[in-house]
Every structure is written in C-alpha cells, then in structure tokens.
C-alpha cells in the first residue's frame, strides 16, 4: 500500500518505519526541515531502541522517503495524521497542527482522483475526527474515508510495541474504509477491535485515564506505606496477585510524565466538563500526580535545609530509554530545588539536550559519578540501566550524603550493609 504519514515525531516516525518494514511504501512528511534532513540520512531525530538500524533498513530498501513537501500525499491509499495535539493552558486540546496538516492534505488530495483513507493517529477527543478533520478534508471535493487508529506505543519500547501490540483499535466511517484498514493490519497477529470513530477516540483516552489512575493510586499507597512503616513493594506484590487487579503499572515513583498521560487526563476531564459530566476522580489524578512529582523534594526537606546545598539529580527523561522530557517529574523537581535556593547538578544518558534549553543555568555532569561528586544529597528520578549500581558503588560516590530514590533500585538491606544513607520512596520510614 502507499501510505503518507504526516508528522515525523515519536508516534509518526515509529509507525512509518513499522509499516515500511512490513513492505508498504511510506512517505514521512514533517514541516520541521531539520528533522526531515536527519531522517533522510537514516539518523533518528529521537532516541528510541533499534530505531536507527530499522530506519536505515527501510530507507536502503527504498520503502521510506522523508520530506517537507506534501506532494507524496497525492495517490496515497492511506494518509495518516500523526502531528502533535498538545494541551492548551485550560487543559483543552490544541488542534492547530491537526487543522493545518489536514488543510495541506486536502490541497494534495485534489490533484488525484483516487479514493484515500485519512486516518487519525494523533490523540484527539471523541468527535474531533468527524467534526474537525472530516469537514477540512471534504473541501478537497474528493472521495475519501475517515478512520481513527489510536497509537498505544510506549516510548522506550516503541518499535517492539508496534511489532507486537496488545491490541489494534480502528474506528472507520464506512465499509470501504474498513476493508482498506483491515488490509493494512492483516499481517498483525493480535486482538483487533474494529469500531466506529468516536468509540476509537474514546478508547484511547479511557486507556490513558485508567493507566494514570493506577500510577496515582500506586504512588499514594506507597506514600501511606512510607508513613506507617510498611514496605510498599511487598504490598504491591500482594495487591497484584489479585487477577482482577494484575501486577502491571503498580510501581510507585516520582509521578507520571511524558507527552500522553498528563495531557490526555486533563483533556478528558475538560471534555467531560464541557459535556456536563462531573469527574472528580479524573481531576484528582492530575492533582495527585503534581504532588508526587515533588515527593523527593518533600523527603529531602525533612532531612536537610535545601538552601545553598548542592543537589545531584540522576535522570531527566520522564522514563528510561527515551530522550523525552515532556512533563518529566525532573522538571518540577529541579524548578522547586532552584526556588528553594539549591544548586543543582544533573545527569541523564540521553535527555540533556532539551533540558539545557529549559534550565541553562544548572550544572550538567558528564556521567553519574561526576554528577554525585561533592553533592550534599542525590535524587534518583529515572530508572536508567546506567544507574543500576551496587550500594557499595553509591556509597563510594556519595560518602555520607543521602541518596533519595524514587525508583527503589537498591534492596534496603544491601544499602544498610554498605553504610549508604538511603531513602527509597514507599519504604518504611518517613525521613
Ligand atoms: N509520543 C507518544 O508516545 C505517543 C503515544 C501515543 C499517542 N501519541 C499521540 O501522537 C501525536 C503525536 O505525538 P508525538 O509525541 O509524536 O509528537 P511530536 O511532537 O514528537 O511530533 C509531532 C510532529 O508533527 C510535526 N508537525 C506539526 N505540524 C505539522 C504539520 N502541519 N505538517 C507536518 N508535520 C507537522 C512536528 O514538527 C513534529 O515533528 C499526539 O497526538 C500524541 O498524543 C503519542
């Protein structure tokens, strides 16, 4: 099939490389010329496992081309819209990128009388594809079908999620569109749900709201455990053994971040309000998460006055194996540390570039040991494999300075044996 993917960010590029790898001819279109120039040379503009090799493979096979020019849209069987849908200050969704991408697509579709499916990959609220995208494409005067194919990838394992998804959800406007989308996904061996467009849009938001609620509840449970002297890891193990609950997404930490959960929970709550529905749980998830992002700061403040202290922050990306810092807990934490008068030294294996633009005045270390060197306390925010060191190694790097750990990388008994001043989130003992 001939596919045009509009927007070569995390979602668009992964799908483009994935479909090209399955033998389709894919054109990747983005308005960001520097991104396109990298992609054309086989250099991924984002950090994602195996992406470089897979990207070069499909370029060399002649299956993927990248450009800023929309002309490749014309004659495509499927045009996939994967541009950003960021939050506006009131929590609603900014559709400006979707609108401009769709207008440009409509202009190109006019040039060919082939039937194309315009498929939304961007996360948009229920009703958006039919009420916003449809009318813009209609201006082309051409015959087209509409679809919604929500993206469920997890950054850090995005390509393997593409290859082996838990499920594929496709909302279609009509049977012809459904046949084309079935053809696109016929090589995928997983559960598939074909439904209407509005339902597919809602499934994406409902999934993210459920995931976010689990994380928020795991965090609050761990916080209670920490106060009352119970080990939350053991508690979660017991909770997860219940088949109605299951073991996934029950790990406490510094709060969820990234480009999806925070904005999608806010957008759904905002949408609910507009539709007249009161949703206290959705609002509480956002509130709870904002509080959790400052949990390590709260713990640190109980151990020492933060002003004029040198605090090391290990991990800036919102999760390991990505360079994405959007809504990362590290942003709120560093901001709070600076407001409290601390000097911050930070390190992340992949996410320092974007961070330097946001916090140009803090110190950035070349590796984890340099980051810890001479600090008064260290905060471990992101569970990068590079930070999985032994208690002895941390003791050597930190001396008596405390390590406050949001990811619980050490067994508390090994930390105690090494003489490490160790304070994991959710472990008995409120500092
Ligand atoms: N990142 C994820 O893990 C993920 C997962 C699921 C769903 N999503 C959804 O996918 C969508 C994209 O997210 P992302 O993280 O890939 O965003 P991103 O910011 O990484 O990428 C968006 C890209 O779209 C490009 N763009 C903007 N306007 C354009 C236009 N008019 N024409 C062509 N290109 C244009 C931008 O230059 C950018 O490269 C969002 O709706 C997001 O909610 C993302």
Q: Are residues 38 and 10 in the same domain?
A: yes
Could you tell me if residue 430 is inside a domain? Answer: no
Asked whether residue 262 falls in the same domain as residue 308, the answer is yes
User: What residues contact residue 277 under an 8 Å CB cut-off, 6+ apart?
Assistant: none
CA-based nearest residue to 383, from 322, 426, 340: 322
Kind and range of the H or E run holding 171: strand 167-172
The predicted pLDDT at position 113 comes to 84
Going from the Cα of 122 to the center of ligand 1, the distance in angstroms, rounded, reads 7
Q: What is the distance in A from the centroid of ligand 1 to the CA of 219? A: 29
Residue 200, domain member (yes or no): no
Same domain, yes or no: 181 and 269: no
Q: What is the DSSP letter of 386?
A: G
How many CA atoms does the CB half-sphere of 44 hold within 13 Å?
24
- Give a yes or no: residue 204 inside a domain: no
107-111, 194-198, 301-305, 373-377: least confidently modelled range: 107-111
What residues make up the domain containing 317?
Answer: 209-424
Give the H/E segment covering residue 29.
strand 25-29
Same domain for 84 and 134: yes
Q: Is the pLDDT of residue 90 over 90?
A: no
Domain boundary residue, one of 163, 195, 227: 195
| Ligand 1: centre distance to CA 30 (Å) | 10
The CATH number that applies at residue 147 is 3.40.50.720
Ligand 1 residue neighbourhood (C-beta within 6 Å): 6-12, 29-32, 35, 82-85, 97, 100-101, 122-123, 151, 153, 155, 259-260
Domain total in the chain: 2
Beta bridge partners of 224: none
Residue among 30, 125, 129 to mutate when testing ligand 1 (max atoms within 8 A of CB): 30
Last residue of a domain, one of 169, 195, 221: 195
The length of the chain, given as a count of residues? 431
pLDDT tens digits along 368-381: 999 999 999 999 99
Which of the following is catalytic: 28, 172, 225, 260? Answer: 260
Instruction: Say yes or no: 264 and 376 in one domain.
Output: yes
Question: For a substitution probing ligand 1, which of 4, 5, 8, 9 has the most ligand atoms within 8 Å of its CB?
Answer: 9
Q: Does 226 fall in a domain?
A: yes
Residue 84 Cα to ligand 1 midpoint, Å, equals 3
- Same domain, yes or no, for 226 and 357? yes
| Closest atom, ligand 1, to C-alpha of 121 | 10
Query: 119 and 18: one domain?
Result: yes
Last residue of a domain, one of 127, 161, 195: 195
State yes or no: is 260 an active-site residue. yes
Asked if residues 153 and 161 have their Cβ atoms less than 8 Å apart, the reply is yes
Asked if residue 431 is part of any domain, the answer here is no
Closest-CA residue, ligand 1 atom 1, reads 10
β-strand partners of 291: none
Residue 255 near residue 249 (C-beta atoms within 8 A): no
Burial class (CB in 10 A: 0-12, 13-18, 19+), 382: buried
Q: In a 10 Å sphere around its CB, with 0-12 CB exposed, 13-18 middle and 19+ buried, how is residue 338 labelled? A: middle
Same domain membership, residue 407 and residue 296: yes
For residue 424, pLDDT beyond 80: yes
Claim to verify: residue 321 and residue 371 sit in the same structural domain: yes
Is 201 inside any structural domain? no
pLDDT band at 125 (very low <50, low <70, confident <90, very high): very high
Q: Is the domain of 21 the same as that of 85?
A: yes
CA 167 to chain centre: 18
Question: pLDDT band at 198, cuts 50/70/90?
Answer: very high
Residue 203 counted as domain residue: no
Region 64-78: mean pLDDT is: 96
């Amino acid at each position: 099939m001939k596919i045009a993917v509009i927007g070569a960010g995390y979602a668009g590029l992964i799908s483009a490389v994935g479909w090209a790898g399955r033998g389709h001819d894919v054109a990747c279109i983005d308005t960001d010329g520097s991104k396109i120039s990298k992609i054309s040379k086989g250099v991924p503009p984002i950090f994602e496992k195996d992406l470089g090799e897979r990207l070069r493979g499909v370029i060399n096979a002649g299956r993927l081309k990248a450009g800023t020019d929309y002309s490749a849209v014309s004659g495509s069987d499927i045009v996939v819209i994967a541009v950003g849908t960021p939050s506006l200050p009131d929590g609603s969704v900014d559709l400006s990128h979707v609108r401009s991408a769709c207008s440009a697509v409509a202009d190109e579709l006019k040039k060919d009388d082939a039937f194309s499916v315009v498929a939304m990959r961007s996360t948009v609220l229920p009703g958006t594809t039919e009420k916003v995208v449809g009318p813009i494409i209609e201006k082309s005067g051409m015959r087209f079908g509409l679809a919604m194919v929500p993206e469920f990838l997890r950054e850090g394992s995005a390509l393997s999620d593409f290859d082996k998804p838990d499920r594929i959800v496709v909302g279609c406007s009509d049977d012809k569109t459904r046949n084309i989308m079935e053809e696109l996904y016929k090589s995928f061996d997983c559960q598939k749900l074909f439904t209407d467009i509005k339902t597919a849009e809602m499934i994406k938001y409902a999934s993210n709201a459920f995931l976010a609620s689990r994380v928020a509840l795991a965090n609050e449970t761990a916080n209670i455990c920490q106060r009352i002297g119970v080990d939350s890891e053991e508690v979660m193990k017991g909770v997860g053994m219940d088949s109605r609950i299951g073991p996934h997404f029950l790990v406490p930490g510094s709060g969820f971040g990234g480009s999806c959960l925070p904005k999608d929970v806010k957008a759904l709550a905002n949408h609910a309000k507009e539709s007249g529905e009161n949703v206290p749980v959705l609002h509480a998830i956002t509130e709870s998460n904002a509080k959790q992002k400052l949990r390590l700061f709260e713990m640190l403040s109980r151990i020492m006055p933060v002003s004029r202290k040198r605090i090391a922050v290990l991990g800036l990306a919102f999760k390991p194996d990505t360079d994405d810092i959007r809504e990362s807990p590290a942003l709120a934490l560093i901001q709070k540390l600076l407001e409290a008068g601390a000097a911050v030294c930070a390190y992340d294996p992949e996410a320092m570039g974007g961070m330097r633009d946001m916090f140009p005045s803090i110190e950035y270390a070349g590796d984890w040991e340099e980051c810890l060197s001479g600090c008064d306390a260290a905060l471990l925010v992101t569970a990068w494999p590079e930070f999985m060191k032994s208690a002895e190694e941390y003791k050597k790097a930190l001396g008596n300075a405390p390590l406050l750990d949001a990811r619980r990388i050490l067994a508390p008994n090994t930390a105690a044996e090494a003489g490490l001043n160790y304070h994991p989130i959710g472990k008995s003992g409120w500092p």
